[in-house]
Structure 1
């Protein structure tokens, strides 16, 4: 699925990009984000991932200093990713974990490799909500938990016109170990995403 997303994005943005003159990346930007989300859960010998649909919106500001572009951005996304596991901590238990909203704020640094093509790296803080339910011994427990973590990523951005852009991006987020009711579970949570963004500059 990730290969199909990447191929579609490159096909969409490659043709208009070839005809573009030099563009500036300075200004406020806003965009819509879609893509693929893969959430990973690890616990001792367990290391499994589940995939889902990524969706959301982004807002930021860039300053174009010639060959180098620096910027800040914020993002809110959701995902359809869900996971379930049996006998994870105790015999007979069943854990269900659903991805909730994900907030991100960070910075990025890019370099123009062509008049309308920017390659960039990014990094920052992410806070994801996890919807957890646990079934054990005839009882059910559930809660919403906010997980703090960091995100790093890289991508390519194309100026389709003077005021619109499209980009494809890979990013990795790590939330450390999940804590349930203030108890360290040693369950590690992370996610890999491929995101497509279509947006405009003010």
Structure 2
């Protein structure tokens, strides 16, 4: 009996020693997924509002002798606001590019007297200008820093331009109303507040070149050609929804 007890104790001691010499079992640590980088890819549409300032010059030329009769700076300025939308492609890394279209209504206007030219102040009867709407179709390219996007853009621009006035002494009225196409460049910054909402500040310069129309004064019965040169600056804040 005593012999059996000694054998059992020896076996137990040997088992304990074997377990003590076994390597320690370590539980695996939980795997933490890396944060997913924000992607700018996809379609979006939004609303925007801001300020428009133009550089507009109206010049009258006497067609009989080709003399410049009068010129006037009629720099329409005022509120501008509308809608915009487009699509972004986000390449691996930080490169984002896309296409965007916008259309805006404007109450930009200006009025005043003409500045006398070398012969006489043909526009002294007064002149006014308005820009009723603007638009653009632009390509964009930018650098994404997670939820912040810095971009530049350029393409085609549109503006609905109106000019009205009278010749000196409040005489013959004249008018010009034309939808003009030109080119535009600009840039801005966007920030994504979440997966769907993006705010931005956007600046756009547009050049619509020169246009002209003919006018004959009732008083002098003299044919004239008016040349209209227009440039605009627009700065707008916008808020868009990403689909």
TM-score range for the pair, normalised by the shorter chain length = 0.7 to 0.9
Gaps of 5+ in 1: 1-19
More strand by share: 1
Matched, 1:178 2:205: no
Matched residue SS, 1:81: strand
**Hey, what's the Cα distance between the residues in 2 that align with 1:181 and 1:105?**
31
1:164 to 181, 188, 197: 197
Matched, 1:53 2:79: yes
How many residues align? The count is: 182
Gaps of 5+ in 2: 1-34, 60-70, 216-223
How do 1:34-45 and structure 2 match up within 5 A?
A: 34-42=49-57
Q: CA deviation at 1:73?
A: 0.8
Matched residue SS, 1:24: coil
Q: Contact conserved, 1:23 with 1:159, CA < 8 A, in 2?
A: no
Query: Which is higher, the Rg of structure 1 or of structure 2?
Result: 2
My pick for the range that moved more, 125-134 or 85-94, is 85-94
1:127-149: CA deviations, max 9, x gaps? Answer: 11112222225232334211111
> TM-score, normalised on structure 1?
0.80
Q: CA deviation at 1:107?
A: 0.5
Q: Contact conserved, 1:54 with 1:78, CA < 8 A, in 2?
A: yes
Q: What's the counterpart of residue 32 of structure 2?
A: none
> TM-score, normalised on structure 2?
0.67
Compute the RMSD of aligned alpha carbons. 2.5
Q: Contact conserved, 1:177 with 1:185, CA < 8 A, in 2?
A: no
Give structure 1 regions of 4+ aligned residues with deviation exceeding 3 angstroms.
42-50, 181-187
Q: What's the counterpart of residue 9 of structure 1?
A: none
**Hey, what's the Cα distance between the residues in 2 that align with 1:59 and 1:130?**
24
